[in-house]
Structure 1
């Protein structure tokens, strides 16, 4: 299936500091594209892959699992590590969970994390029914475009495939067990009004990671897809300040004109 217009992966060849961005469940790189371009304009090497089963049609996602999604960000991270001196991982929603797993697995090779409304659990009674229900019901209502800003929209599926939702639950359980292995500096930005991921997920993550350099920021004007919402610029600026503090050489890379 062809990729939906706007949902394509993004890559920019910049300097020695690299950033991997991980998009969310049923979403696409479009939700993080403005963030990726903001970082690219400052001379960084940026990778924003399209996760398998995403960016086409929800039926394609039925055939994938969290192992496929994680394998793609793992591949992209290895690619960045081969070409950059320092690498950071940023993620939105499920992308936050993928970022945390990369941090747990790669240790010091990942220099820091920026997480926006990271997911930690599939909530509600329905979650416990997923192992059985998914064999009888193919999909349920979508979760895309939870955005407060008028006129803004996320390119994502209008249906959630239940096989994939079951696998998402498995991913969250796996990552939750690995959170104590996360020691890197972390910035977590989460919306006070989020109709997809509750504040309890952020609280759980912060209570279980072993990081000592942690900054928590509340986003009061945005819903779940905050990277396309009223607080987008704040997210971008906070992430840039984080990079400049931990990788001062990133500032020197600003102004690079290479593109990809």
Structure 2
């Protein structure tokens, strides 16, 4: 990141030190910690150690994101996971949208480290035919209109980028494909929360996860009043309640 590029409001990472259960949460593509911090704070209030990092290329300008690839986003989360595991007895990973894909990838790569997974409207596939054009289109135009702030509740803002950078998006689809192929390696208990009215991620991802996930425990919960950024939407409290209970059940921690 250039020194003269200022951070967007709400893009500050969040960290809270608490008990022996650590929770690592990731925001989505072109988004920021603003979409996840309320959820993270609520889990911290329940006594957990929580980390909500800012992913590489985010929180400044969309052009900066175009200079990164999915491995850059993943590497930052992986470092946080290692540090959290050194501090905590149990670790849960989770995320929204692309952050959910990254969380699933962490769980597949580190089954001995991740004790549970919680994802909200994760992205691992899409039926949008425009995505097939990305390998060529990314060389012709740098960006397309924004995908952020798909929220039903008025007055909410995830502080996402105003454009969707195509080189980074193409890299993100590579993350989807690779992670979908590794879902059988995810053995930690999984909580999958999904909005039926999601204008960003379609139903292909949940079908993939149902068919391929290796977790012996996989719970699927609908978020009926929310759009894609459900962590800031009408079902935000439901996400907190269900995730807190799930974490308590599968880590031996406490809920509230």
Shorter-chain TM range is over 0.9
Match of 2:77 in 1: 73
Gaps of 5+ in 2: none
1:119-171 CA distance string (max 9 Å, x none)? 01243222111111111101001100000001112210110001001101111
Distance 2:138 2:164 in 1: 11
Where do residues 103-114 of structure 1 align in structure 2 (5 Å cutoff)?
103-114=107-118
Distance 1:121 1:200 in 2: 6
**Residue 24 of structure 1 contacts residue 93 of structure 1 at CA under 8 Å; is this kept in 2?**
yes
Match of 1:144 in 2: 148
Gaps of 5+ in 1: 255-260
Residues 1:222 and 2:226 are matched in the alignment: yes
Residues 1:200 and 2:204 are matched in the alignment: yes
Distance 1:206 1:3 in 2: 38
**Residue 108 of structure 1 contacts residue 184 of structure 1 at CA under 8 Å; is this kept in 2?**
no
In the superposition, the TM-score normalised over structure 1's length comes to 0.94
**Residue 126 of structure 2 contacts residue 205 of structure 2 at CA under 8 Å; is this kept in 1?**
no
Distance 2:168 2:251 in 1: 37
**Residue 26 of structure 2 contacts residue 95 of structure 2 at CA under 8 Å; is this kept in 1?**
yes
Runs of 4 or more above 3 Å deviation: none
Match of 1:14 among 18, 26, 32: 18
1:91-121 CA distance string (max 9 Å, x none)? 1100111001100010031001111001012
Match of 1:125 among 120, 124, 129: 129
**Residue 126 of structure 2 contacts residue 204 of structure 2 at CA under 8 Å; is this kept in 1?**
no
**Residue 190 of structure 1 contacts residue 199 of structure 1 at CA under 8 Å; is this kept in 2?**
no
**Residue 22 of structure 2 contacts residue 91 of structure 2 at CA under 8 Å; is this kept in 1?**
yes
**Residue 127 of structure 2 contacts residue 204 of structure 2 at CA under 8 Å; is this kept in 1?**
no
Match of 2:87 in 1: 83
- The number of equivalent residue pairs is 252
Match of 1:51 in 2: 55
